[in-house]
Chains A and B, each alone.
Chain A
Amino acid sequence: MNIIDWFLDRFRLKTVHRGIFDRDIPEGISYFYCFGGIAFSAFLFCFISGLFLSLHYIPSEKEAYQSILRIQEEVPLGKLIRGIHKWSANVLIVSIIFHSIRVFVTKSYRPPRELNWVVGVLVFLIIMLEGFTGYLLPWDQKAYWATVVGTNIAGSIPFVGETILLIIRGNYEVSGVTLSRFYSFHVLWFPSIIILLLWAHFHMIKKLGISKPL
């Protein structure tokens, strides 16, 4: 027994491991069925490049912008990692949209897969929020005013608008408090929720299989 087999056996991972490659796929599937996988890959790219960025980024009013400049100019590979984070985020959103179109066109949202559609929509919403919170982090003029305008939209809800605005911003204006909570959302809360949701998404796909093409 070599070390890999030993590991897979002791981890009781063998069945799962085999499962992924032996699973039945219906006939007539096209490349459009790849967009879910592409989205997942893009998410992994985002996640890993984000882990590296968080090593050098400082989420404080005074230092955020400076630390971004440092990542861009001084940190080895910093520019590359930042680029990967930005571009994989874009690819992620585009491929989620294509993926949803594929699911819609092939009518794969029909029972028994309707719950997976709902989970998919939740993932999409949270990915959008990831984009929104991430955009503030460079803490430059564009970031600041984009967040002012974006949060003002929530603030324009009648009656509860001001309370919601306070809950989002942590202050009347977008300030250092906003920056630290957006950082927390961006790197801890939302990714954790996304991982939970993706687990649910994949669990259902595993149990229900890919729907037969029309």
Chain B
Amino acid sequence: MSINKQLEKINRRVFLKKVIKSFFLVISLILPFIWLTILKPKNPKRRDFKFFEIPKDKYPKEGLKKVDIKIDEKKYFKIFLVNRNDNSLIALSPVCTHLGCFVNFNRYNNEFICPCHGGRYDIEGRVITGPPKENLQRLPVKIENDKIYVGLII
């Protein structure tokens, strides 16, 4: 074999190696992109409020009442109904606005306390202290035919 032919062979080998290497490089760069684009939803939708009736015996006469709203046979969702002094009603979501734990109501000092990081809200859901920045979400309440309905995102 002439020296030229041998050189050509080596060159071809080097070239092939480079092709294979860049092939794998490109694949491994593309994969994370595919991964992220597949996982990221194109047009995510916020779910709408669905309204659930609150039974008459669950209305708070004064102050606050914890109400389990029946969603289906097995599912209940806990909300807080607050009867304010001016006799208007608000419905509060129990979901802490910090990271979403369920808050509890403490009857001794009349505030909501979040078990996760100690966020506190007053009886109308306004932040007192702790990590939460926003007040507890007020759920839409509507009255139709003398019945009260509360909107939940379920």
Contact = CB atoms under 8 A, between A and B. Distances in A.
Nearest to B153: A173
B36 A145 contact: no
- Describe B's contact surface by its main secondary structure: loop
Contacts of B41: 166, 170-171, 177
Interface string A169-187: 0111101010001000000
A173 B47 contact: yes
Interface stretch (B4-12, B19-27, B52-60, B97-105): B97-105
B40 A172 contact: no
Contacts, number: 39
A156 interface: yes
Contacts of B101: 145, 149
Interface residues of A, number: 19
B39 interface: yes
Given A166-B44, A170-B41, A171-B44, A149 B36 contact: no
Contacts of A65: 74
Contact of A170 (B36, B39, B95, B99): B39
B147 interface: no
A172 B100 contact: no
Interface string B103-147: 000000000000010000000000000000000000000000000
Contacts of A153: 99
A167 B40 contact: yes
B116 A149 contact: yes
Given A170-B41, A171-B45, A172-B45, A145 B102 contact: yes
Interface of A: 65, 141, 145, 148-149, 152-153, 156, 163, 166-168, 170-173, 175, 177, 181
10 contacts: A145-B100, A148-B100, A149-B100, A163-B40, A166-B40, A170-B41, A170-B44, A171-B44, A172-B44, A181-B39
